[in-house]
């Protein structure tokens, strides 16, 4: 898959040579689904769709790449609008509570990634800590769904949140 690619000069976490041409080449090289993480603007979302990606993850990489820019929840609506339902839009970053999951779904996310709370649960209590985090997130999500009058995930819409 990487035949002909010179990766010997990749010395940093974010290589500037990873361009849209690279994305096209990667898409053309594999039959696997290609999901891009780190899309935070309407323009990049539109270009990703043009290049045939199969999904997008709205992410600022835990703030490590863009620590002074907008949080992912603020980027989500414009990315969702840009893809026009053509591909799934996932979101990660800043998800700490079930209400965060609810808001992301209401703003159009297809799915929500949760990282740090699970890591904290793992560090504190191992597998049972991760399981406890997931139970808490689910309980909080179900509670806010009841409070908002949304009996199922498909009933969560943009009207469910105030901007």
Residue of 42, 61, 97, 116 with catalytic role:
61
d(CA 83, CA 61) in angstroms, rounded, equals 21
State the burial class of residue 118 (Cβ atoms within 10 Å of its Cβ: 0-12, 13-18, 19+). middle
d(CA 153, CA 46) in angstroms, rounded, equals 26
d(CA 49, CA 79) in angstroms, rounded, equals 11
Q: Is 61 one of the annotated active-site residues of the chain? A: yes
CB count in 10 Å sphere of residue 117: 19
Give me the active site residues, please: 61
């Amino acid at each position: 898959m990487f035949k002909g690619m010179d990766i010997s000069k990749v010395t940093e976490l974010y290589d500037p040579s990873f361009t849209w041409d690279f994305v096209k080449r990667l898409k053309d090289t594999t039959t696997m689904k290609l999901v891009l993480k780190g899309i935070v603007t309407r323009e990049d979302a539109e270009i990703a769709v043009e290049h045939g990606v199969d999904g997008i993850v709205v992410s600022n990489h835990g703030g490590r790449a863009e620590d002074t820019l907008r949080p992912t929840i603020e980027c989500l609506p414009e990315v969702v609008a840009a893809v026009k339902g053509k591909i799934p839009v996932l979101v990660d970053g800043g998800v700490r509570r079930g209400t965060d999951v609810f808001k992301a779904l209401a703003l159009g996310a297809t799915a929500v990634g949760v990282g740090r709370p699970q890591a904290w649960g793992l560090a504190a209590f191992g597998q049972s800590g991760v399981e406890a985090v997931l139970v808490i997130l689910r309980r909080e999500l179900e509670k806010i769904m009841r409070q908002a009058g949304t009996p199922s995930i498909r009933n969560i819409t943009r009207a469910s949140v105030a901007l």
